[in-house]
Amino acid sequence: MNAQQIQTFFSTLRAANPSPQTELEYASVFELLSAVLLSAQATDVGVNKATRRLFPVANTPQKILALGLEGLSEYIRTIGLYRSKAKHLMATCQILVDQHGGQVPRSREALEALPGVGRKTANVVLNVAFGEPTMAVDTHLFRVSNRTGLAPGKTPLAVEMGLLKRIPAEFMVDAHHWLILHGRYVCKARQPLCSACTVSSQCDHGRRLQSILD
């Protein structure tokens, strides 16, 4: 994809969805952090089902700690890897209380120091909660970036750096959401819906496919 194709690509996605949002349900920065931490190797739908039960009871670090490990585990047991995630969330809550006054820190360094929080999770929190132009590369973004030619790379970090370099500034804050939604519902892993894709003419894969059909 060249610069003009990238401009058209994101202009098209923006026209279809001017204000994209995460599909995780949350009402505070702490709820967002918790939901993203729980979402590793799990679907947003599955996480939302669990947090709809958890957050009305415990939606602050202090309340999570008051539940105790077993109590927390009962609320999230439907989520994959729930035991390790419960331990990570409990440890994170303790650090938030001890070191950050119960608030979620705004710096990448402090976020990545929390148990269970890696670069991708930190990027989501920085972008969604604080409006920073970060790029959280999950399996969807990795696939879309490589398949379309937007930002090819062999590792998530390489793709992230490529996206940050190639995406125009006007699209940066919302680009993560557009790409994840595009990968989740259109540019699927096994059967991409190229015939229904509104940006296939800008996509390297789409143009190759069209040339074969022609």
Catalytic residues: 120, 138
- Cβ contact 179:187 at 8 Å: no
CA 76 from chain centre, in angstroms, equals 19
- Cβ contact 90:98 at 8 Å: no
Q: Which residues make Cβ contacts (< 8 Å) with residue 36, sequence separation at least 6?
A: 24, 121, 124, 125
